[in-house]
């Protein structure tokens, strides 16, 4: 099994398993329900996005990245004929509520 296939399999397993297990209350994770443009990202981009979101030290850094990410995903969506709707919650705000930022 190559690396890409393994990553896809792991992402699928975790995306279905996390909501039903005690890990769901653990660290924030990027997924289709909470990430703008999820379906327009490659599996590697999804992993990198999650890494990025967890790496920020300040809320401002997070919001700056999130703004860039949303703009890029909106552009990709438009190229596919889709108008990307904003998610109700903000990953940065979720991280702030969990005490990630001071």
pLDDT tens digits, 35-80: 778 888 899 998 898 889 889 999 999 999 999 999 999 999 999 9
- Count of structural domains, the chain: 1
**By residue range, what is the domain housing residue 59?**
31-102
- Side-chain-side CA neighbours of 90 within 13 Å: the count stands at 14
The answer on pLDDT for 2 being more than 90 is no
From 51, 28, 39, select the one nearest 82 (Cα to Cα).
39
What pTM was computed for the model?
A: 0.65
List CB contacts of 73: < 8 A, sequence separation 6 or more: 36, 37, 40, 41, 84
Task: Determine the Cα–Cα distance for residues 40 and 60; give it in Å rounded to an integer.
Answer: 25
Of 3-12, 20-29, 68-77, least confident by mean pLDDT is: 20-29
Using an 8 Å Cβ cutoff, are 73 and 39 in contact? no
Asked if residue 71 belongs to a domain, the reply is: yes
Q: Is residue 96 part of a domain?
A: yes
pLDDT above 70 covers what percent of the chain?
A: 65
9 within a domain of the structure (yes/no): no
């Amino acid at each position: 099994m190559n690396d890409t296939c393994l990553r896809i399999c792991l992402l699928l397993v975790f995306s279905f398993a996390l909501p039903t297990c005690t890990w769901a209350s653990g660290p924030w994770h990027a997924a289709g329900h909470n990430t703008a443009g999820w379906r327009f990202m490659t599996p590697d981009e999804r992993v990198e996005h999650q890494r990025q979101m967890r790496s920020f030290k300040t809320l401002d850094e997070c919001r700056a990245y999130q703004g860039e990410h949303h703009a890029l995903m909106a552009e990709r969506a438009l190229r596919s004929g889709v108008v990307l709707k904003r998610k109700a919650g903000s990953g940065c705000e979720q991280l702030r509520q969990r005490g990630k930022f001071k």
